[in-house]
Structure 1
Amino acid sequence: MIIRFFHQMGSPRYFYNVAGKLVPWFMVSFLITLVFGLYYGLFVAPPDYQQGESYRIMYIHVPSAWMSMFIYVVMAVSGLISLVWRIKMTEIVVISSATVGASFTFLALATGSLWGKPMWGTWWVWDARLTSELILLFLYLGIIALHSAIEDKRVAARAVSILALVGVVNIPIIHYSVEWWNTLHQPASVTKFDKPSMDISMLIPLLTMAISFKLYYGAVVLMRARAEIVERERNSRWVQEMVEQEAK
């Protein structure tokens, strides 16, 4: 059953139809979790004993940083599948994810800068975590630019898949930079069970926001993938029939 499902999802027509049914569910779930996470993070969670109210930007910054790495890993895995098995849908997932990943990376850098000013006394430092995250943004932008520069979309897909695979080495650098080097960026406290760790009243809205951002990514990447499918398959019979039906 699982093999059959993945085989079907490799069909642009099948993927287009399934994605159209999933998008509304993703969007509604995103809005519900977003409202819950923001409300509890901004108004219910207690102030931090050291940072006071300024820490609340964490509920945007941390999930954005997580998503910036998560999406790039998704792109790298999809790129590997497209290079090895030449599945068209994984090619589409790579490029459909790039803009969303770049947006989350920029948001992580911007909110990190806003958070860093009161904590560190400066908007930016060439910290290992910040610098590697900035490199990640350049990788996203490079993938977007490379795909736009190559007219043949199958050739472009192979090129961006290779770049995504090469750039994935930056992900463990981002994740472990605070452990490998002496950096200003604080170490992880979400996954720690010893002290100091995050209080449950702060952790729940943070994880809710992380789920919300993943639901948003799912909705947007499916919508972008559907648009890319129509563009690539515009001369196929099923797309022409669909357009004729919608025109009636």
Structure 2
Amino acid sequence: MNPLVRWFHQLGSPPYFDRFAARWAKWGYALGLLLMLPGLYGALFQVPPDYQQGDSFRILYIHVPSAWMSMAVFAAMAFYAAIALVWRIKLCEILAMACAPVGAGFTLITLLTGSIWGRPMWGTWWDWDPRLTTELILLFLYLGVIGIYNAIDDRRIAARAASFLALVGVVLLPIIHYSVVWWNSLHQGQTIRLFGKSSMDASMLAPLMWMTLGTHVWFVGALLARARADNLRREAGKAWVANAAGATS
């Protein structure tokens, strides 16, 4: 068997995944925070004030990476959910459900920072703008997945039911992305492009890329930590869990 294929088969074993997640989750957290440091420093101390928005624009270094992550995490959740539903892989159920609280957190940060940013720019904390409204719906979808998963006692049935909602909700992602193009919107148009030329000055772009990279790596740590906790809850009572608890006590 190919070594990579063998590793994926091993990763599906609850004891093996527990050891893997325990080892790498802390590295994801630490490396993610480390990568964010140059982004935060550049955003606060190196980037000049915006010629229109002044210093208030600096909140974008939290807002934009969180907004990107809110959609990326939902896409990852839907990906794991599809695998879980088709091939009934328990680890993918766990990973899909572990995405939901983290994604909901990023979405909430997006909405809060967007409101704080919008207050001086638009003169209001909230407007039923297409981008804001669809992002709010995304938060409700995350909460729906979390709610369904916690409402059913059987973990596997709960994960499958919540996975259906994740798959249905994925159609919202392109609507969020293109909302500023399809409708007249208070929200500014797309100024930052991962592919192609961005209208943002290069001196302002570098800290944003550090923040984006850092949040992605931090998410890996958070995903592994939450998935490990759910895996242990599901496997409670098994001998290997008792042995693992004894080894760490």
Unpaired runs of at least 5, structure 1: none
- 2: CA distance, partners of 1:63 / 1:137: 16
Task: Work out whether 1:17 is the aligned partner of 2:19.
Answer: yes
Q: Secondary structure at the match of 2:184?
A: coil
Mapped partners of 1:172, 1:13: distance in 2? 38
2:239 is aligned with 1:244? no
Which moves more between the two structures, 235-244 or 55-64? 235-244
CA distance in 1, matches of 2:108, 2:161: 23
Q: Secondary structure at the match of 2:200?
A: coil
Q: 1:159 aligns with which of 153, 157, 161?
A: 161
Q: Counterpart of 1:124 in 2: which secondary structure?
A: coil
Moved more, 6-15 or 98-107: 6-15
Question: Is contact 2:135-2:176 (8 Å) kept?
Answer: yes
Deviations 1:185-206 (A, max 9, x none): 1111111755x71111111100
Q: Which runs of 5+ in 2 are unaligned?
A: none
Aligned residue identity for 1:224: R
Please tell me the residue identity of whatever aligns with 2:78.
Answer: A
In the alignment, which residue of structure 1 is the partner of 2:93? Answer: 91
Superposed CA RMSD: 1.3
Where does residue 237 of structure 2 map in the other structure? 235
Aligned equivalents of 1:182, 1:240: Cα separation in 2: 58
Counterparts in 2 of 1:24-173, with a 5 A limit? 24-173=26-175
The CA deviation string for residues 72-125 of structure 1, in whole angstroms up to 9 with x for no partner, is: 000000000000011111111111111111111000000000111111111111
Q: Deviation per CA, 1:23-53: give whole Å up to 9, x if none.
A: 2221221221222111101110111121111
Q: Is the 8 A contact 2:31 2:214 kept in 1?
A: yes
- Distance in 1, matches of 2:132 and 2:9, equals 40
Give the corresponding residue for 1:206. Answer: 208
Shift of 1:20: 1.3
The percent identity for this pair of structures is 53
Assess, with a 3 A threshold, how the Cα gap between structure 1 residues 234 and 193 changes in structure 2: closer, same or farther: closer
Partner amino acid, structure 2, of 1:246: T
Q: Which amino acid aligns with 2:131?
A: R
Letter aligned with residue 14 of structure 1? Y
Q: SS state of the match for residue 27, structure 2? A: helix
Displacement of 1:244 after TM fit? Answer: 2.6
Q: What's the counterpart of residue 218 of structure 2? A: 216
AA at the equivalent of 2:15:
R
Cross-structure match for 1:181: 183
Distance, in Å, in 2 between the alignment partners of 1:39 and 1:165 is: 38
* Amino acid aligned to 1:9: L
Taking structure 2 as the reference length, what is the TM-score of the superposition? 0.95
Which letter maps to 2:237?
Answer: N
What letter corresponds to residue 228 of structure 1 in structure 2? D
